[in-house]
Structure 1
Amino acid sequence: MSILKIVHRTTFEYDHEISSSYNEARLVPAWLPRQRVLESRVDISPVSWRTSYRDYWETDVIAFEITESHRALTVTSTSQVEVTPQPARDERKSWDELSGPKFQDLLAEYLLTSPATEPTAELADFAHEAAAKGSPDDAAREICDYLHRVINYVPGSTGVHTPARDAWEARSGVCQDFAHLAIGALRTIGIPARYVSGYLQPKADAEIGVAMHGESHAWLEWWSGDWFGFDPTNDKEAGEHHVIVARAREYSDVPPLSGVFGGKGSTLSVKVSVTQLA
């Protein structure tokens, strides 16, 4: 079990004074069976109006607007979260069960690829070869291991709108690309898979009480009887150092911060710190 304090600060500085801004923030960690939110707040400056709601994907969303002239916007999310490891998995489904009408219907949203997740023919061929050799869990793990081996993690090499195919061709990307590539490959062979966004405590033996440079992170979960989280960027199970904020089909369903403003030209800076409290 870990207790983590996460501070995520996003600042937009505009080239000129702007008159208005309308935004949504998905920054609050989720309440889950293995994840308890002990404290959470989101500070926004400036702000004229704000409200909260839960979206289709069961993500907590803060919608806010600024209707006064401003040159900068700062959104700071501060949370304390208790996270336990993933439980042992008991029930697992076979290929025949996954391909049956029951789960094809219930999990249809997590079986369709999109421009963001569509794999190349080369990656799809590898996925089918992996599926022919073992169980759905074995195939999913082999695909994730393979991506970790052949794709280089290069910060800044892609953007939030980069399709998975482009990252594959370049053999480089960021955590979002690893997640999208794995999701597309798994869906191609009939394994439901979904995108997870959140945070990662990057150092397993972090000193208690010392703030470290953290990461806004992405990984995936696949379904083979229950949902199982795996981090292909780091080639390991999602565990007590992974904090979940949102889960959906792909990044565009649950961006951390999105919106429009009345003007043009801005500079974005993001800083995440993670402190191990227990």
Structure 2
Amino acid sequence: MKLCISHTTEYSYREPVMDSVNEIRLTPFTNEQQSCYQHAISVEPNASLFSYDDYFGNRVHAFSVNKPHRKLTIRTQMTMVTKEAVMPEAGQNGMPPEREWEMLATDNAINRFAEYLLPTEYTGITPEVAAFAELPLLGDRSEEAHGVHSWLAYVAGRIHREFVYDPEATDVTTIAGEMLRRRRGVCQDFAHLMIAACRSRGVPARYVSGYHFVGDLQGGSADFEQASHAWVEAYVPGTGWCGFDPTNNALVGERYVKLGHGRDYKDIVPVKGVYRGTSEAELVVKVDVKKVEE
């Protein structure tokens, strides 16, 4: 699938501000599932961009606007070609299910994936989160009777079934345990809960930010609000990192464009920075994802 994506972030300040220092994580990955054919970033007021890769391999662009300004606008535009997800078959990686779980429990795996196994501020493993990860099990059998991939698909499906998508229920600071009690939230909350559940069972999991194309699922209408999306990548022995979207109960495939990953939301905030001046500001974010007919 070929997708054209535009993303505009605009800050409007009540009074002029200055010495604005920012970093943005809005550059897509190129990997086995997606290819970036074109990508552009513009900033108003005009500023020079400095780029580098952070600890997790995400491309970061940093810039400063020192002169007084009352508006800061960041625009990105990209053209992506994506591929459909491939559902691994049981035993395809040559390992019985119990061997997959045994591999995740080895010192080598724990050391290799340490940052994706430890709890964070957003993904704390409370008794409630641990209980959610344990029960109910898959039918009348333990998860060890199933491959890691099928267990992950089960967890994503359970979150989708048992929790209500409600943009008014949580905010950007909500942690997994709090959302678990409220039983409602948004994609960020669903991703954090799945990550916490995975880590409580010893499955390395990371938070992913990006875009989800749903335009052709809205009855052909272009008049609907789009936004950035969040999902989960978890490590499956013998297969590698696999994407799961608990918000939509879907494998991550051609409708998804990945921007970055980290331990939780805090590692990959799309735009963040500091400035001198008034705290009274308005933020407007607009995202447009369109399918390009080839």
Q: Report the TM range for the smaller structure's normalisation.
A: over 0.9
Q: Does 1:274 pair with 2:286?
A: no
Which residue type is aligned with residue 244 of structure 2?
Answer: F
Distance 2:213 2:284 in 1: 20
1:41 Cα offset (Å) = 0.3
Percent identity reads 34
Q: Which amino acid aligns with 2:78?
A: S
Cα deviations across residues 77-132 of structure 1 (Å, max 9, x unaligned)? 10000000123433266211110112111111111111201144233123124382
Give the aligned partner of residue 19 of structure 1.
Answer: 18
Equivalent residue number for residue 246 of structure 2: 232
Divergent runs of 4+, >4 A: 204-208, 210-213
Partner of 1:137: 149
Q: Which residue of the other structure, out of 197, 203, 207, is the alignment partner of 1:191?
A: 203
The answer as to 2:189 corresponding to 1:181 is no
- Counterpart-to-counterpart distance in 2, 1:126 and 1:18: 46
- Residues 230-261 of structure 1: per-residue CA shift (max 9 Å, x gap): 10000111110000000111110111000001
Q: In structure 1, what is the equivalent of residue 63 of structure 2?
A: 64
TM-score, L = length of structure 2: 0.88
Equivalent residue for 2:275?
261
- Paired residue for 1:111? 117
State whether residues 42 and 78 of structure 1, in contact with CA within 8 Å, keep that contact through their aligned partners in structure 2.
Answer: yes
Equivalent-residue separation in structure 2 for 1:156 and 1:12 (angstroms)? 22
**Contact 2:133–2:201 at 8 Å: present in 1 too?**
yes
Shift of 1:145: 1.4
Cα deviation digits, residues 197-223 of structure 1 (max 9, x gap): 000102455799x79743200000111
Matched AA of 2:243: G
Please tell me whether the aligned partners of residues 211 and 273 of structure 1 are also in contact (alpha carbons under 8 angstroms): no
d(CA) in 1 for partners of 2:86 and 2:155?
22
Gaps of 5+ in 1: none
Bigger shift: residues 129-138 or 167-176: 129-138
Deviation larger for 47-56 or 259-268: 47-56
Following the alignment from structure 1 to structure 2, what is the Cα–Cα distance between the partners of residues 50 and 11?
17
The answer on whether the counterparts of 2:10 and 2:74 sit within 8 Å (CA) in structure 1 is yes
CA RMSD between the two structures: 2.1
- Conservation of the 8 A alpha-carbon contact between 2:215 and 2:289: no
Q: Does the CA-based 8 Å contact 1:48-1:68 persist in structure 2?
A: no
1:252 matched to 2:271? The reply is: no
1:34 lines up with 2:33 in the alignment: yes
The aligned amino acid for 2:2 is I
Moved more, 174-183 or 51-60: 51-60
Count of residue pairs the alignment pairs up: 277
* 2:85 matches 1:86: yes
Do the aligned partners of residues 206 and 227 (structure 1) sit closer, same or farther apart at CA in structure 2, a change above 3 Å counting? same
CA contact (8 A) 1:44 1:74 kept: yes
- The TM-score normalised by the length of structure 1 is 0.93
1:155 — aligned with what? 167
| Kept in 2: contact 1:206–1:276 (CA 8 A) | no
CA contact (8 A) 1:211 1:276 kept: no
SS of the equivalent of 2:228 reads strand
> What is the alpha-carbon distance in structure 2 between the residues aligned to residue 167 and residue 150 of structure 1?
12
Take 1:81 and 1:211, find their aligned partners in 2: how far apart are those partners?
A: 22
Counting only pairs closer than 5 Å after superposition, residues 192-207 of structure 1 correspond to structure 2 as: 192-204=204-216
Matches of 2:289 and 2:257, distance apart in 1: 11
5+ residue gaps, structure 2, are: none
- Report if the CA contact (8 A) 2:23-2:273 is conserved: yes
SS in structure 2 at match of 1:215: coil
